[in-house]
Structure 1
Amino acid sequence: MPVTADTDRAVLDEAWGHIPQSRETTVGLGSFTRRRIERIIAVVAGLGSLALGAQAFLAALAPGDELPGWHLPLMLVTFVPLAAMILACFIGRGVAINAGAFALLYVLALAVWPIATVGSTPDPTGQPWIWYLVNVATLAAVLAFPLPLQIAWTILAPLLFGLVRLIQCGFASDFFVPLGLDVSFALILGGVILALGWLFRSIAANVDETRARAVSSYAEAAAADAAELERVAVAALMHDSVLAALIASERAETPRERTLAVGMAREALTRLANAERDAGEGSDEPRDAVSIADDIEHDARDLGVEILVRRAISPWTPPIPGRVARAVVLATTQAVSNAVQHAGGQGLNVSVTGTADPAGVRILVRDSGGGFDVDAVPDDRLGIRASIVARVAAVGGTAEITSHTGGTTVEIEWGHPES
């Protein structure tokens, strides 16, 4: 079959119809680019942290300013969470937790640095190994914290390093210029890291927001198009089937012609009732009332509603024709769908009663929602008039809807013609 624009559009519409419109999928559609940007940022951060961490580790292996009892604990407190953060960045799991742990522990290591180096004689022209990780702490904050804390860490880490370094050297004047240059460099580099992270995330958020609006607009357009197609189909059905049945009924003179007109009317009503589900009458093999209750539970489960149908079925209830059973099950399922959609399923319960005298079934669908005005339902809405009332009427049954502020009740009854 040649591929045409209409074929492509039909395939897209069918695919869209299979996408579950839940909260989870909506969130996923609205964070597509953001998730990928976060992954890219994590990988780049892992590579940068690995390079600076290796430099700091090599520097830490040489003799340092710390006292003998402090050197190894400070290395463990700093490099173990750093290694965990780098690993998390590469595998894409636990990035925020491990990065946040390193950012906090690094600040703690800086805070105890003056105690660990008390009595040492630092070199004004050199930097201790902990200096190489100042901007890694800023990067970790970008990965783990919200924007206000990112800004705080970008400023706090370099200034804290400058302060503890001055405390270590006893505020000697020889350290002012070198430390000023080091702190300024760290602040500038940290600001660049912070700005790049904010920029890429903002762009990703804007792209996702635009995509989500486009998907929402398409969904609304598809729904409007489906409603219009439904109205056109119903109009054509009314013109072809119902009108033909009315004409045949008007012209019927003999009993055979009247019987034929009744059959045409029944078929037209059934087609009208099934217009939105493309469901035929199906087999007319007799069914029992218990199977009707089972089918109602199964169809409700397909709608995402778990209900237990109450059953008061006499064992002497006569079998019910298959097309009647199918019609009342479909009508009941529509009533359940309406209760879920318009009443949130509040107080929803379904009962099936089967009796032998008179022979027939009676189904009640109740909810305790806010109710509605039955007479105010628009004529083009098929949920009540076609899917419930007309569908049951087509097989010789009755459907009555009562609604008030305390809830809505749909009563469906069908009785054997012989009873």
Structure 2
Amino acid sequence: MVETERSVLDEAWGRIPHTREVQAEQGSFTQTRIERVITLIVGPGSLVLGAQAFAAAFGPGDEADGWHVPLVVAVFLPLVAMVVACSLGRFARVFSGVFAVVFLLALVVWPVATAGGPAPVPTENPWIFYLVNVATVATIVAFPLWLQVAWTIATPVMFGIVRMIQVGGRGDFVVPIALDVSFALILGSVLVTLGWMYRSIAANVDQARASAVSSYASAAATAATEHERVAVAALMHDSVLGALLAAERASTPRERTLAVSMAREALTRLANAEKDSLEGSDEPVPAVRLADDIETAARELGVELSVVRRVEEGTPRVPGRVARALVLAAMQAVANAVQHADAQGLTVQLSGHAAPGGVAVRVRDTGPGFDVAAIPPDRLGIRGSIDARLAAVGGRSEIDSQAGGTTVTLEWESGDRW
């Protein structure tokens, strides 16, 4: 049941368009794209505001001699790095965080840098003001929500404080500075709210998608289980019950032979109940073909095996139905070794003998082993897929399991009588 749900879940995810971003994190399909959209918006937007601030920096500055150029370089270099990183989609969080911190430090030193500088004008803002909201949007890319809110409040308020310190608390600057701080707070709050809203929507969409896929997997697994139950019930009614009735009523050698044939067919169908394909041709195949088929089937299960071949010259060819039964039974043993022994020391050996003519497949592992007699009656992995499958084609199976490992031996002789 677990394996069925897992395979159905993989199929469901396979129906969703995959790119490199989705393959890296299937559960964040929309969030990954929203993050990329945010960085693409922040990059060009910061470039526009940064260009405005850079143009203002070429005019008369408020800084004292020796402060203007170093301060401009210290602020604009991280800004350029952030714009480039956001545009390329690489290291955007790192460089955005660097710019946000550097800008706040620039505000801290602003009163010192402007001490003794030209007298400011109430109607003109310094170049550093145009970057207040750039620092806010940088936090949207770089920091968690609580830091975004803190930066959105702290940066405009810090600008207002350092600006008042610069002008010496003059009354004619109070209203212009209050308006600037209010504008920066409102714009910053809108930007942070938009970022939070789009991320929340993306998270809800991803959660809804994951829930839908999980529901699809559960429904499909339930439908598959029900289909299998119905198929097995029909098999038991039509084949097994028919064989039992024929055996009970058989009174002549011909009727007994027919009953045996019906029982054999019922066992074969029961052992291959999980297979939808037909049994295929009964044309005899070389014994060494079994090793190739086992290796191919193992690769389909994700297990790399190299079957050891010890086939004598003159080994008889194996009927098609026998070969299929041996391969399927061997794969069940391999699957058991992978599931219960973690494929420790897993080896498969194919032996072919000319006299008496026959083949044998041995699947060994060095796992913890198990008690064969303690297997519950409703577990058909060994009884149905190995024992019954081999019995249906006139073969034999033997399981030797100890603390040092498990060996499953599958044998068929050309002289076996059914």
Instruction: Quote the offset at 1:317 in angstroms.
Output: 7.3
Once the two structures are superposed, residues 240-264 of structure 1 have per-residue CA deviations (whole angstroms, 9 ceiling, x without a partner) of 2222333333344444444443333
Query: Cα gap change, 1:15/1:212 in structure 2, threshold over 3 Å: closer, same or farther?
Result: closer
Q: Percent identity?
A: 55
Once the two structures are superposed, residues 55-88 of structure 1 have per-residue CA deviations (whole angstroms, 9 ceiling, x without a partner) of 2222122222235655445444433443454455
In structure 2, distance between residues paired with 1:288 and 1:122: 100
Find the counterpart in structure 1 of residue 126 from structure 2: 128
For structure 1, the 5+ residue unaligned runs are 1-12
In structure 1, distance between residues paired with 2:9 and 2:112: 69
- The answer to whether the aligner puts 1:305 opposite 2:303 as a matched pair is yes
Larger mean Cα displacement after TM superposition, 53-62 or 312-321: 312-321
In structure 2, distance between residues paired with 1:18 and 1:268: 37
Find the counterpart in structure 2 of residue 41 from structure 1: 38
- The answer to whether the aligner puts 1:104 opposite 2:136 as a matched pair is no
In structure 2, distance between residues paired with 1:76 and 1:352: 73
Equivalent residues in 2 for 1:12-411, closer than 5 Å: 16=11, 19=14, 28-66=25-63, 69-90=66-87, 92-114=89-111, 116-125=113-122, 126-166=124-164, 168-169=166-167, 175=173, 178-309=176-307, 311=308, 313-316=310-313, 318=315, 319-340=317-338, 342-343=339-340, 345=342, 347=344, 349-356=346-353, 359-366=358-365, 368=367, 375=374, 377=376, 379=378, 382-401=380-399, 409=406, 411=408
Q: Residue 150 of structure 1 aligns to a residue in which SS?
A: helix
Letter in 1 for 2:320: G
In structure 2, distance between residues paired with 1:412 and 1:17: 38
Query: Cα gap change, 1:114/1:366 in structure 2, threshold over 3 Å: closer, same or farther?
Result: same
Letter in 2 for 1:129: W
Q: Number of paired residues?
A: 402
Once the two structures are superposed, residues 282-315 of structure 1 have per-residue CA deviations (whole angstroms, 9 ceiling, x without a partner) of 3344445544333323322222233444x26254
In structure 2, distance between residues paired with 1:393 and 1:19: 39
Contact 1:237 1:272 in 2 (8 A): yes
Once the two structures are superposed, residues 339-386 of structure 1 have per-residue CA deviations (whole angstroms, 9 ceiling, x without a partner) of 44x43725251321415266421322436368588755463x554433
Instruction: Quote the offset at 1:226 in angstroms.
Output: 0.3
Letter in 2 for 1:19: G
Letter in 2 for 1:362: V
Find the counterpart in structure 2 of residue 10 from structure 1: none
Find the counterpart in structure 1 of residue 3 from structure 2: none
Query: Cα gap change, 1:49/1:306 in structure 2, threshold over 3 Å: closer, same or farther?
Result: same
Q: Residue 364 of structure 1 aligns to a residue in which SS?
A: strand
Find the counterpart in structure 1 of residue 4 from structure 2: none
Instruction: Quote the offset at 1:216 in angstroms.
Output: 0.7
Instruction: Quote the offset at 1:279 in angstroms.
Output: 3.5
Find the counterpart in structure 1 of residue 5 from structure 2: none
- The answer to whether the aligner puts 1:416 opposite 2:413 as a matched pair is yes
Instruction: Quote the offset at 1:231 in angstroms.
Output: 0.8
Instruction: Quote the offset at 1:225 in angstroms.
Output: 1.0
Instruction: Quote the offset at 1:100 in angstroms.
Output: 2.8
Once the two structures are superposed, residues 175-208 of structure 1 have per-residue CA deviations (whole angstroms, 9 ceiling, x without a partner) of 5554444334433432332233223322321232
Instruction: Quote the offset at 1:234 in angstroms.
Output: 1.1
Q: Residue 120 of structure 1 aligns to a residue in which SS?
A: coil
Once the two structures are superposed, residues 97-118 of structure 1 have per-residue CA deviations (whole angstroms, 9 ceiling, x without a partner) of 4433432333344344445444
In structure 2, distance between residues paired with 1:84 and 1:231: 63
Q: Residue 119 of structure 1 aligns to a residue in which SS?
A: coil
Q: Residue 277 of structure 2 aligns to a residue in which SS?
A: coil
Contact 1:106 1:137 in 2 (8 A): yes
Once the two structures are superposed, residues 134-155 of structure 1 have per-residue CA deviations (whole angstroms, 9 ceiling, x without a partner) of 1111111111222233233223
Letter in 1 for 2:273: A
Contact 1:345 1:367 in 2 (8 A): no
Instruction: Quote the offset at 1:20 in angstroms.
Output: 8.9
User: Root-mean-square deviation (CA), in Å?
Assistant: 3.8
Q: Residue 313 of structure 1 aligns to a residue in which SS?
A: strand
Query: So what's the TM-score if we normalise by structure 1?
Result: 0.79
Larger mean Cα displacement after TM superposition, 222-231 or 189-198: 189-198
Q: Residue 31 of structure 1 aligns to a residue in which SS?
A: helix
Instruction: Quote the offset at 1:236 in angstroms.
Output: 0.9
